[in-house]
Amino acid sequence: MAAITSDVEVEVRRPRRGVVVGILLVAWVAVYFVLRGIDTLTLGSQETTTLHRWLTDHRDDLGQGNVVFDAIRMTVDQFVVLLQNLLAQPAYGRPVPVIGWLGVVAVAAYLAWAFGNWKVALLTAAGLGFVGLQGLWRESMDTLALTIAAVLLSLLVAIPLGIWAGLSNRAFRVATLVLDLMQTLPTFVYLAPLTLFFAIGPAAATIATLVYAAPPAVRLTAHAIRSVPAESVEAARSLGSTRSQTLTKVLLPMSRSTVVVGINQTIMAALSMVTVAALINAPGLGDTVLKALETLDVGVAFNGGLAIVVLAIVLDRVTTAAGDRPWRTASRRRRILLAAGAAGVLVAVWFSRTYVWAAEFPTSVNIGSRIAVTTSNLTNWVQDVFGGFTYGVRDAVTKGVLNPLEALLTGSPWWLVATVVVALAAVLGRWRGALPAAVCSLLLVATGVWHDSMVTLASTLLATVVVVAVGLVLGVWAGRNRRVDTWIRPVLDAGQTMPPFVYLVPFLALFGTSRFTAIAAAIVFAVPVTTKIVADGIKAVPVATVEAANSVGSSNWQVISKVQLPVARRAITLAVNQGLIYVLSMVVVGGLVGAQALGYDVYAGFTQSELYGKGLAAGLAIVLLGVLLDRVTQAAARRTQRFPRRGDKL
């Protein structure tokens, strides 16, 4: 008995973490009222620090004149220009690209048919026809050319790396480490440092896209090679295959469908990054949307966003169909049809080089302007009718939650915030949390944009709380109910394939330009991934465990709170982590619609040359915030993990 009571006492004496966190926060608020306004490190939007000016002055030193970077830039630029000449821009002394619209549609549909099926071929033709009718043919082709360039370069790098990581354990460990790190970096942050090396333009855009788009292909190729059954490889070896025979005749063919999934993800990532790269002057649809957002022209922005979504859907469906294609070799009938189709495509390409009507997309029917006008009218109508309501919601949330939170973060002395952050990290994740928190806080001060970082942090925290709440509810619902899952999943998939720009448009219509708009867009951007991870985690709870809980008479709520959520804890911490990262990666995009702070700093850095250094520092600050939040949540997750994980050594 004695032993038991003493155990209980030990439990009681150690206060729960929640209580400690609560006390910390209350203490912070109390101190804030005493010390507010001191050491806040405020910096006006046009003001810069010595560091920023130094960076601005040295922007050309690294990139230009450096032989290696110049060579890379020239090569990539030429490659992009070649593709643009082929598809988009007037080239080689002709007023039209090498292949006109008819040829492009024919080639694209043919490829979709050959690698996928006739349904996606029809979809391809219809999709390309639609963006043409929107009056965005050239912009779409620019985007397509950049995407193709980036995807080809990505695969050129990613597939061999993936194979290497698939064959060698050491390479696999290194690759996993690097890719994990790359995934925690907010994507838009690549842009700023890359312009330092490759100057603003297509080369930097392509390389930024490459960095963003290559990881999924590396990961999935390695995964595919590693999951080929050991017996098939052994069988090949036992028959005397050489290493290269094993690779080309066994490993690669058997990895095909998974590699195609990787290529699909690479293409989708490339498309969304290519549109975002409009921030550094990449041509295409992203530029259309960006310009429209700058002038608050919701109609034109929506038209451009719609074209991006159409391209995304076409590319996604075609590559998915290509991955689903079975092993079988084509039947004789299909082979004959394919040959006939190839001839037809050649004829179409010839037409598109010979006749103006087949070269330039006809402008007689332009539904683009009608879409833009309709959207504008609809927006106006919505603002007239619901404006009071939506603006009311916006103002209520801004005044009631966002402003106090922001005031607390920005009004406290920097050392107070840093202390609280480190203390919280220590409580949640011991030294694993505290150490990165301390380092990141100090570096944030060093960037000179501490104040802006705190504004961004306030929005990020608010958005993340909403994302996690919504994601948990939807995820648990979908995880427990198969029908809900089948309905919700395509919506989530669509949400994930849409490039982030597009999210802004409807929110701009509803809420005008404000911090709240950016938060709402970030929430919509991050909810799908959070929901999916939670749903998968809930679904992975063994059926027998749930049945056991039901058999002792648990209510639904008890099953959720006492069985499913605790068992899925690992998935849920991952969902929180990913939600945070996704919210943070919308920061720069949010800067376009009034999010101010870091997002605006980065954007201003791209557009105003004298603010370049500050933009770079702000980009770095976003990375630091990302690393800080990522490390702390990961460390907290590790501590929460009471029972050993699968695969852990016991």
Partner 1 sequence: MTAQLEYPEVQDSDALLSIQGLWKVFGPKAQRVPHRPDLAALDRAALYTRTGCTAAVRDLSFDVAPGEVFVVMGLSGSGKSTLVRCLTRLIEPTAGSLIFEGEDLRAADEKRLRTLRRSKFSMVFQHFGLLPHRKVIDNVSYGLEIRGESKPDRRRRAQEVIDLVGLAGNEHFYPEQLSGGMQQRVGLARALANDPDVLLFDEPFSALDPLIRREMQNEVVRLHREVGKTMVFVTHDLSEALRLGDRILLMRDGGAVQLGTGDELVGAPADEYVRDFVRDVPRADVLTLRWIVRDARPGEPLDGPEVGPDVLVREATRLVLEADRPVKVVSNGTLLGVIDDEEILAVVADH
Contacts to partner 1 by CB under 8 A? 229, 231-242, 245, 249-250, 253-254, 256, 327-328
Which 3 state secondary structure label does DSSP give 646? coil
Q: How far is the CB of 336 from partner 1 (least distance, A)?
A: 19
**DSSP-assigned letters across all residues of 157-195:** HHHHHHHHHHH-HHHHHHHHHHHHHHHHS-GGGGHHHHH
Does residue 393 sit in helix, strand or coil?
Answer: helix
| Of residues 226 and 291, the one with the C-beta less far from partner 1 | 226
For residue 378, how many other CB atoms are within 10 A of its CB? 14
Q: What share of the chain is helix, strand, coil (3-state, %, to 5)?
A: 85, 0, 15
What is d(CA 275, CA 147) in angstroms, rounded to the nearest whole number?
9
Question: What is the smallest separation between the CB atom of 444 and partner 1, expressed in angstroms?
Answer: 44
Residue 634, helix vs strand vs coil: helix
Q: Residue 60 or residue 234: which is nearer to partner 1 going by CB?
A: 234
Whole-number Cα distances in Å, 555 to 485, 548, 558, 560, 561: 22, 12, 5, 9, 10
Nearer Cβ to partner 1, position 157 or 233?
A: 233
**Looking at beta carbons only, is 92 or 327 nearer to partner 1?**
327
Scan for tokens 């806080």, then name that residue.
Answer: 441
The least distance separating partner 1 from the CB of residue 220, rounded to whole angstroms, comes to 18
Count CB neighbours of 443 within 10 A: 15
Which CB atom, from 37 or from 253, has the smaller least distance to partner 1? 253
- For residue 334, the minimal CB distance to partner 1 (Å) is 16
Instruction: Report the residue number, 22 or 229, with the smaller CB distance to partner 1.
Output: 229
**Cα–Cα distance between 396 and 403 in angstroms, integer?**
10
One-letter amino acid for residue 124 of the chain? T
Q: Which is nearer to partner 1, 3 or 239 (CB)?
A: 239
Backbone angles phi, psi at 95, to 5 degrees: -75, 0
Phi first, then psi: give them for residue 538, nearest 5 degrees: -65, -40
* Closer Cβ to partner 1, 29 or 235, answer by number: 235
Distance (Å, rounded) from C-alpha 434 to C-alpha 440? Answer: 10
- Compare residues 246 and 530 and give the one whose CB is closer to partner 1: 246
The answer to whether 120 and 128 have CB atoms below 8 angstroms apart is: no
CB of 222 to partner 1, least distance (A): 20
φ, ψ dihedrals at 326, nearest 5° = -70, 170
Least distance to partner 1, CB of residue 158, Å? 22
Pair of tokens at residue 431 = 């030294």
**Closer to partner 1 at the Cβ: 14 or 328?**
328
* Minimum CB distance to partner 1, residue 591 (Å): 49
Q: Shortest distance, CB of residue 181 to partner 1, whole angstroms?
A: 30
3-state secondary structure 34-66: HHCCCCCCCCCCCCCCHHHHHHHHCHHHHHCCC
Instruction: Find the shortest distance in angstroms from Cβ 262 to partner 1.
Output: 18
| Torsion over CA: 166, 168, 173, 179 (sign) | negative
The nearest distance, CB 233 to partner 1, in angstroms, is: 8
Comparing CA positions, the residue from 528, 522, 49, 76 lying closest to residue 277 is 76
Instruction: For Cα atoms 466, 471, 477, give the angle at the middle one, nearest 5 degrees.
Output: 135
Name which of 176 and 241 has its Cβ closer to partner 1: 241
Q: Which DSSP state fits 352?
A: H
Q: How far is the CB of 333 from partner 1 (least distance, A)?
A: 16
What gap in Å lies between CA 67 and CA 28, rounded to an integer?
52
Spatial CA neighbour of 281 closest among 373, 377, 198, 384: 198
Helix (H) and strand (E) counts for the chain?
Answer: 32, 0
**Min. distance of Cβ 332 from partner 1 in angstroms?**
13
For residues 254 and 443, which CB has a smaller minimum distance to partner 1 in the complex?
254
Q: How far apart are CA 290 and CA 504, in angstroms?
A: 10
Query: CB of 240: closest distance to partner 1 in angstroms?
Result: 3
Q: Which residues are CB-contacts of 331 (< 8 A; sequence separation ≥ 6)?
A: none
User: Which of 622, 621, 602 lies closest to 612, judged by CA?
Assistant: 602
Nearer to partner 1, 256 or 639 (CB): 256
433 residue type, one letter: G
Nearer to partner 1, 191 or 220 (CB): 220
Taking the least distance from each CB to partner 1, the nearer of 2 and 239 is 239
Contacts of residue 318, defined as CB under 8 A and 6 or more positions apart, other chains included, come to 111, 112, 115, 116, 120, 123, 124
Shortest Å distance, C-beta 494 to partner 1: 32
Residue 116 CB, nearest distance to partner 1 (Å)?
18
Q: Can you tell me which residue has the tokens 């409009």?
A: 278
Q: Helices 450-480 & 597-607, crossing angle to 10 degrees?
A: 110
